[in-house]
A = this chain, B = another copy of it.
Amino acid sequence: MMTSPLKNDRFLRALLRQPVDATPIWIMRQAGRYLPEYRETRARAGDFMTLCKTPELACEVTLQPLDRFSLDAAILFSDILTIPDAMGLGLYFSEGEGPRFKKVISRETDIHTLGTPDPSSDLRYVTDAVSLIRRELNGKVPLIGFTGSPWTLATYMVEGGSSKNFSLVKGLLFEQPKLMHALLHKLAIAVTDYLNAQIAAGAQAVMIFDTWGGILTSRDYIDFSLNYMQQIIEGITRTYQGQTIPVILFTKEGSEWLESQMATGCDALGLDWKLPIGTARKRVKDQVALQGNMDPCILYASPERIREEVAYILESYGPGNGHIFNLGHGVHPQINPEHVKVLVDAVHEMSTRYHQF
Q: Which residues of chain B are within 8 angstroms of A301 by Cβ–Cβ distance?
A: 171, 174-175
Q: Is A253 an interface residue (CB 8 A)?
A: yes
Q: Is the CB of B332 within 8 A of A297?
A: no
CA A219 to CA B220, docked complex, whole Å: 29
- Nearest B residue to A175 by beta-carbon distance? B301
Q: Is A120 an interface residue (CB 8 A)?
A: no
Q: Which residues of chain B are within 8 angstroms of A219 by Cβ–Cβ distance?
A: 276, 312
Q: Is the CB of A295 within 8 A of B171?
A: no
Shortest C-beta distance, A175 to chain B (Å), equals: 5
Copies of this chain held together in the complex: 2
| Chain A residue total in the interface (Cβ 8 A) | 32
Q: Is the CB of A171 within 8 A of B253?
A: no
Contacting residue for A174 out of B175, B214, B300, CB 8 A: B300
Q: Is A298 an interface residue (CB 8 A)?
A: yes
Q: Is the CB of B174 within 8 A of A273?
A: no
Q: Is the CB of A276 within 8 A of B217?
A: yes
Interface members, chain A 248-280 (any B CB < 8 Å):
253, 255-256, 273-276, 279
Interface string of A219-256 (1 = CB under 8 A from B): 11000000000000000000000000000000001011
- Nearest B residue to A168 by beta-carbon distance? B300
